[in-house]
Amino acid sequence: MTYIAKPKIVHEGLARNALGYTIRDYEGGMSTLCAGCGHDSVTAAIVQAFFELDIPPHSVGKMSGIGCSSKTPAYFLAASHGFNSVHGRMPSIATGASAANRGLHLLGVSGDGDSLSIGLGQFAHAIRRNLNMTYVLENNGVYGLTKGQFSASADVGTKAKKGEVNEQQPIDSVQMAMAQGGTFVARSFSGDKEQLVPLLKAAFKHDGFALVDVLSPCVTFNDHESSTKSYAYTRQFFHRAIHLDYIPPAKEIKAAYDEGDVMPVELHDGSRILLRKVSKEYSVNNRGAALDYIRTHQRRGEIVTGLLYIDESEPDMHGINQTTAKPLSELPFDALCPGSDALADLQNRFR
Partner 1 sequence: MSGRSKSRVNDFVVRLANVNGTGSASANGLLMKAIFRMGIPVMGKNFFPSNIQGLPTWYEIRITKDAHLARSGRVDIMVAMNAETYQKDLREVSPGGTLIYDSTWPRNSVLSRPDITILGVPLARMCNEKFGNARARILMKNMAYVGALAALLELDRDVIKQLVEEMFAAKKALVPSNMDAIELGYNYAIENFECPLPTRVEPMDKTAGHIMIDGNTAAALGCVYAGATVGAWYPITPSTSLMDAFKGFAERYRKDPKTGDRNFCIVQAEDELSAIGIVLGASWNGARSFTPTSGPGLSLMNEFIGFAYFAELPAVLFDVQRVGPSTGMPTRTQQGDILAAAYASHGDTRHVLLFPANPKECFELSVKAFDLADRLQTPVIVLLDLDIGMNDWMCEDLEWDDSYQPDRGKVLSAEELEEAEKFYRYLDSDGDGIPYRTYPGVHPKGAYFVRGSGHNKYGAYTEEADEYKEVVDRLCRKWETAAELIPDPVIRKSGKPTDLAIVSVGSCDYAVTEAIAILAERGIALDYLRVKAFPFGDKVEEFLENHDRVFVVEQNRDAQLKSLLTLETDYPKERMTSVLNYSGLPIDCRCIVDAIEQAAAKGVAA
Residues that bind partner 1 (CB under 8 A): 1-3, 56-59, 61, 73-74, 78-86, 89, 91-101, 103-104, 121-122, 124-125, 129, 317-318, 321-325, 327-331, 333, 335-340, 342-344, 346-347, 350-351
Cα separation of 326 and 260, whole Å? 41
3-state secondary structure of 21: coil
Q: Considering the complex, what minimum distance in angstroms separates the CB of residue 248 from partner 1?
A: 21
Cα separation of 238 and 111, whole Å? 19
Q: Considering the complex, what minimum distance in angstroms separates the CB of residue 37 from partner 1?
A: 18
Nearest to 87 by CA among 56, 123, 45, 48: 123
- If the CB atoms of residues 85 and 158 are measured against partner 1, the closer one turns out to be 85
- If the CB atoms of residues 160 and 210 are measured against partner 1, the closer one turns out to be 210
Cα separation of 327 and 81, whole Å? 17
Q: Considering the complex, what minimum distance in angstroms separates the CB of residue 186 from partner 1?
A: 24
- If the CB atoms of residues 84 and 298 are measured against partner 1, the closer one turns out to be 84
Q: What single string gives the DSSP state of each residue in 177-226? A: HHHTT-SEEEEEETT-HHHHHHHHHHHHHSSSEEEEEEE---TTTS-STT
- If the CB atoms of residues 182 and 306 are measured against partner 1, the closer one turns out to be 182
Q: Considering the complex, what minimum distance in angstroms separates the CB of residue 249 from partner 1?
A: 21
Nearest to 203 by CA among 184, 219, 190: 184
Torsion of CA 115, 120, 124, 129, to 10 degrees: -80
Q: Considering the complex, what minimum distance in angstroms separates the CB of residue 69 from partner 1?
A: 15
- If the CB atoms of residues 8 and 235 are measured against partner 1, the closer one turns out to be 8
Cα separation of 346 and 335, whole Å? 18
Cα separation of 275 and 259, whole Å? 11
Cα separation of 130 and 79, whole Å? 27
Q: Considering the complex, what minimum distance in angstroms separates the CB of residue 328 from partner 1?
A: 4
Cα separation of 186 and 196, whole Å? 10
What one-character DSSP code corresponds to residue 333?
A: G
- If the CB atoms of residues 279 and 323 are measured against partner 1, the closer one turns out to be 323
- If the CB atoms of residues 91 and 141 are measured against partner 1, the closer one turns out to be 91
Torsion of CA 165, 169, 173, 174, to 10 degrees: 110
Q: Considering the complex, what minimum distance in angstroms separates the CB of residue 23 from partner 1?
A: 16
- If the CB atoms of residues 119 and 198 are measured against partner 1, the closer one turns out to be 119
Cα separation of 153 and 342, whole Å? 55
Q: Considering the complex, what minimum distance in angstroms separates the CB of residue 64 from partner 1?
A: 10
Nearest to 306 by CA among 265, 332, 277: 277
